[in-house]
Amino acid sequence: MGQFDDRIDAYIAKSGDFAKPILIHIREVVHRASPLINETVKWGMPFFDYKGPICMMAAFKQHCAFGFWKASRLNDPDRLLQGSDEESAAGSFGRINKMEDLPSDEALTSFIHQMIALNESGVKEPKKVSAPKAEIPMPNDFDKLLRNNLTAMSNYEKFSPSCKREYLEWFVEAKTEATREKRMQQALEWICEGKTRHWKYK
């Protein structure tokens, strides 16, 4: 990874005519803001890094996107930022169709300097705490199948809560009663062998 990456040149070259001047301008603003920033490609998009992601840009069929990796942590007195989802197709400033849709160079440079400071500080984005999932009750008919098979019952009790839930979710997601019953029989066979729901992928 270096200050300039040939892959970014190729990305810009194959972008739509409306997108080329926008991407070129963003690239110039980023590097003008700091010579410390290096270019790379992640998820098929141009990224600008310094001790971690700073920002990214992308070109789509009818619009461009430009976003900051930790947009929610940036000081934005003029309320220019429209979202903090780094992988959003609209980036941090909505859909960019022309140069005028971009904030001023001064505003972008301020955000870039803030991002550099954040990355230098080593402060990580706080992890999002997801709401606990609703408990899935044990179906009576599957409970009966387990109780009639001591090996299956013993193995099932040893499974972690998440492994048990994977089986219960599988039953709940069945579209028909026949599919549900088939899944329960298959689950009983796997559990007898001590296998979790996704044993094939482990």
Q: Edge-to-edge strands of the sheet including 53-59?
A: 38-42, 45-49, 53-59, 64-68
Task: Write down the pLDDT at residue 126.
Answer: 58
Which structure tokens are listed for 89? 């197709």
For residue range 7-25, list pLDDT tens digits in order. 999 999 999 999 999 999 9
Phi and psi at residue 40, in whole multiples of 5°? -160, 180
Partnered with residue 157 across adjacent β-strands are none
pLDDT in tens, 55-110: 999 999 999 999 898 788 888 888 888 754 444 455 788 889 999 999 999 999 99
* Per-residue pLDDT, 128: 58
Q: What is the pLDDT of residue 124?
A: 62
pLDDT category at 28 given cuts 50, 70, 90 is very high
DSSP track, 89-100: TTTTT--B-SGG
Q: Could you report the per-residue pLDDT of 129-146, keeping only the tens digit for each? A: 666 778 889 999 999 999
pLDDT, one tens digit per residue, over 148-176 is: 999 999 999 999 999 999 999 999 999 99
pLDDT of residue 155: 93
The CATH topology of domain 6-121 is Aspartate Aminotransferase, domain 1 (3.90.1150)
Radius of gyration of the chain measured on its C-alpha atoms: 25
User: 177 or 122: whose pLDDT is higher?
Assistant: 177
* pLDDT exceeds 60 at position 182: yes
Give residue 167's pLDDT: 94
- Residues 73, 51: Cα–Cα separation, whole Å: 16
The pLDDT value recorded for residue 131 is 66
The domain ranges of the chain are 6-121, 140-201
Greater confidence (201 vs 66) lies with 66
Q: What is the pLDDT of residue 191?
A: 95
* Residue 153 pLDDT: 93
